[in-house]
Amino acid sequence: MAVDPSVAASRSEEAAEAFFHAAPPLHDRDLVAGSLADFVARHSAGSGGVVCVTSGGTTVPLEQRCVRYIDNFSSGQRGAASTEYFLKAGYAVIFIHRRGSKQPYCRFLPEDSFLDLFELGEDLEIQVPQSHSSVVKAAISNYRKAINEGMLLKLPFTTIFEYLQLLQMVANSMNCLGHRAMFYLAAAVSDFYVPWESMAKHKIESAGGPLNMQLNQVPKMLFILRNIWAPSAFCVSFKLETDPNILLQKAEMALKKYGMNVVVANELANYKDVAVMVTRSGRTTVSRSRKEEDMEEQLTNILMKMHSEHIAQHNL
């Protein structure tokens, strides 16, 4: 028997409240709240779009004094690239990102060492090899522009506890923007966690043979975001699966269950090359033809068009 939607909503709210109640409080909460309030106030005065991009994977600590944790695979490439294209199109961006994940305008960096990019000239001045010079200069210039013009706010997280608290703060704060707000939820969020209170205080001993762990499900915050925190916003979530046979079915389910406007479906094997945008009115496939292209350019352009329609519809 299907569960009554209002019952589902109140159950989700209870689960979310219990999660937040048990979570360790966010470090620097007041500082974050302040810069967030300033950012939103400045942009609510304008008429442009404001998008919250989430990026990178969340960790689940297994010990309170954390030595070990469960992590979700995500380089943050999609979120960082998309942020660049949103900024280019004039959106203000709140970039909630995993510490150490890919950053906007830094995606081209050598994986291991940024020192590989630089040389010292004869007069000991810092040089970039000719081959990379224009890329590095454009990156510095675009990044400075976004920061100086107040179009980009970067908020870092590591754990699932930090991520969900930040998302709640940002959503509540963006609520005043109504339909002009977009959520682009590209972060890879843990489905399971160990409640803080039941967590081992110290490093788990390795001498006692095999380790058995029980992990609880993280409350479905997409539902809360959509229905309580940001009811007017344009919401885009992502579904990544390794098994192509269940991918679209799971994307359709997320669309309905959480009330997303768009679910972007990806397969792990080719997520950089192709994605299917699932909406209530149908499916759109985007793909790139060359490795040098960013699929995020197409993806964000289509989404911004849909977002414009979403705003227009509600302003009738």
Q: In whole angstroms, what is the distance from residue 79 CA to residue 62 CA?
A: 27
Least distance (Å) from a copy of itself to the CB of residue 176?
27
Query: In Å, how far from its chain's centre is CA 275?
Result: 17
Angle, alpha carbons 76-77-81 (nearest 5°): 120
Residue closer to a copy of itself, measured from CB, 22 or 136 = 136
Q: What is the DSSP letter of 15?
A: H
User: Any idea what DSSP says for residue 271?
Assistant: T
Contact (CB, 8 A) for 238 and 295: no
Q: At what angle do helices 160-174 and 5-22 cross, to 10 degrees?
A: 120
Our CB check for a copy of itself shows the closer of 41 and 106 to be 106
Q: How far is the CB of 208 from a copy of itself (least distance, A)?
A: 9
Give least dist CB 62 to a copy of itself, A: 7
Q: Which is nearer to a copy of itself, 210 or 282 (CB)?
A: 210
Cα separation, 191 vs 196, in Å, equals: 15
CA dihedral 158, 164, 169, 173 (to 10 degrees): 110
Name the site residues for a copy of itself (rule: CB under 8 A): 59, 62-63, 65-73, 99-100, 103, 105-106, 109, 111-115, 118-120, 124-128, 136-137, 139-141, 143-144, 154, 156, 188, 190-192, 201-204, 206, 209-217, 240-243, 268-269
Minimum distance from residue 260 beta carbon to a copy of itself (Å)? 17
To a copy of itself, the closest distance from the beta carbon of 223 in angstroms equals 14
Q: Which is nearer to a copy of itself, 242 or 289 (CB)?
A: 242
Question: Which residue's CB is nearer to a copy of itself, number 25 or number 209?
Answer: 209
